[in-house]
Amino acid sequence: MARRLAFVVLLLFFLLPLSARAELEKAGSFEVTPFMGGYFFLGDGENLKDAPVFGLRLGYNFNEVFGVEITGETLNSRVSSPYALPGRSRPPFTTPVYNDDNVNQQMYHAEAVYTFMPNQKFTPFIFGGAGDAHFNPSSSSSIDRFFADVGVGAKYWMTDRVAFRVDARDNMIFGRPTTEGQVFHNVEATFGIVFAFGKEKPVATPPPPPPPPPPPPPPAACTYTYSDWGPCQPDNTQTRTV
């Protein structure tokens, strides 16, 4: 049921209107995103129960389409079954001592992010990265696993500095080659609020210089018949009598 609800939320969010433009200039901006959501252990390979997840993301946008972010998150799960299932390799948590044991999981990772349709209120994106998953059972020593992740997401900018964000990702947890020898797929669906700051301000283009003034008109040509005549009037040509 939780997976269906997460899928419906993501689908509705991606169907939001796409026409309105955002005021945020992403180039050079930082983003802070507190988030929460659901963490789903696909299958029974890790022998852990689905759990809510909470975390914080810090991001930096190099330009309007490319950025990076680092994430720290935590969830508190439980062992699903104390014994390995027939015909399956031994999951990490399968001995009776783990029965109904709490397993706290912390994850630290970094991703590269590519944004489609920049400068819009609705900005979908894709990402990929890697990190460390730290499993800490309450009844045994902790273990660490390397993992890679890929996913999609979108932001809806409510103002030029605040956005609503959703993500869906596949966390691929790599087991120890000598024992488990497999990759565990964990699906994570989250939502959060983005706070952007430090955006790059566009440099104002100076106005073009004014055109040079027109040259003055040439003086009117005048001649005189007698030296004692007054000044020549415009458009009045007088000739000297010899």
> Residue 175 phi/psi, 5° resolution?
-80, 170
Predicted confidence (pLDDT) at residue 52 exceeds the cutoff of 80 = yes
- Which band of pLDDT confidence, cut at 50, 70 and 90, is reported for residue 78? confident
Q: Is 239 inside a domain boundary?
A: no
Q: Is 232 inside a domain boundary?
A: no
Measured distance CA(218)–CA(235) in Å, rounded: 13
Q: Is 95 inside a domain boundary?
A: yes
Q: Is 161 inside a domain boundary?
A: yes
* pTM above threshold 0.75: no
The contacts found for 143-147 with CB under 8 angstroms, 24 or more apart, are 143/92, 145/173, 145/174, 145/175, 146/174, 147/107, 147/109, 147/171, 147/172, 147/173, 147/174
pLDDT at 231: 56
Contact 28, 66 (CB under 8 A): no
- pLDDT per residue as tens digits for the range 85-97: 544 455 555 544 4
Q: Token pair of 47, please?
A: 């022998």
Q: Is 225 inside a domain boundary?
A: no
Q: How many domains does the chain have?
A: 1
Contact 79, 47 (CB under 8 A): yes
Of these ranges, 1-15, 18-32, 164-178, the one predicted with the greatest mean pLDDT is 164-178
Task: Provide the CATH number for the domain around residue 78.
Answer: 2.40.160.20
Contact 146, 130 (CB under 8 A): yes
Residue 236 DSSP class: -
Structural domain for 186, as ranges:
2-197
Q: Is 96 inside a domain boundary?
A: yes
Q: Is 228 inside a domain boundary?
A: no
Q: Is 233 inside a domain boundary?
A: no
- pLDDT per residue as tens digits for the range 190-232: 999 999 998 655 556 778 888 888 888 877 655 555 454 555 5
- pLDDT per residue as tens digits for the range 162-191: 999 999 999 999 876 444 557 889 999 999
